[in-house]
Structure 1
Amino acid sequence: MDIISLVKKAKKGDDAAFYQLLLEHKEQLYRIALSYMKNEEAALEAVQETSFRSFKAIKKLKNPQFFSTWLIRILINYCNDELKKRNRVIHYDDMSHIAGGKEDLMNLDLYEAVRQLDDKQSHVIILKYFHDMKISDIAKLLNCPESTVKTWLYKGLRQLKLHLEEGGVENHV
């Protein structure tokens, strides 16, 4: 059964259809949550909270074809709210479970530099390069024109390049 049919059934109260939708999106949600929250427990909590919030609000979803975008937006909003609440410092130890080897640990420096960018620029870079999303999908997700996403991407990459060239990221490996 296709996603749109499942969404229509879920909107009518079919719990099994909603569960199937979550199964279809669980890995993507987890990866995005992990990239924001930086540890497995917090990422799992974010996915669980997103599941709960989306279950409560599924009947309000107007366009079934935008279910994935809607679901990811709920997740990102939750993650941002939690990070603001915690206002925590990200430690490299928190991300050691993500890294598979020395090369992955070196990428943590890059990731940390990306997280220091403006929120909009950081979101666009994370979604584009860490989650392989298309500019058009990012624009839908962030509810803005593609040209705006391209501008944020360009500015973010420019700032990232300057930051890295200035040695703003220490080598922790």
Structure 2
Amino acid sequence: MKLRHVFHCLFVAVLLGEAATAQAQTKLPPRRTGGVAPRPRMVATGVGLKDGLTMQKGRVVLTELGVTNPLTADKKLINGVRISPTGLVTAKDSSTIQMAEGDVVSLTGRVTSRASIAEADSLLKIKTFDMRYPGKRKKMEEERARKEKVKIKLAEDKAKAKAKRDK
């Protein structure tokens, strides 16, 4: 009986000890001024293509206010440029350009080819690479030139060795 009473008291003491250590949730300390602000998150706008006309799969597609539909009739733009559903762009001075796959015409009438878009993208990638890793492209070019010189030297040495063996 005494042993049972001791266990009971011990059990109650443990429960009371746990209850005494439990605390309510506390507020977080206020944010320090001058600290690092959280990075802004990217938000999808829902617009996949820029507004304008694009040649896709041999058809001209018109995108206005984020809504894309195939072009069914000639479209006259702000500056007087006319675009046919087949991709024939006619300027005010009657000069014509045939759109190729991936070419884009803005709603103001500016024609941009797929090649110029790719070139602009690659130049942008080079600029961002140079900003992220200053001097690295120069080092890579020097390393490539050094390897090319070594390769040429090895080829010359092989040619000399072959000429010497042939004598």
Higher relative contact order (CA 8 A, sep 6+): 1
Bin the TM-score by the shorter chain: under 0.3
Larger strand share, 1 or 2 = 2
Larger helix share, 1 or 2 = 1
TM-score (norm 2): 0.23
TM-score (norm 1): 0.23
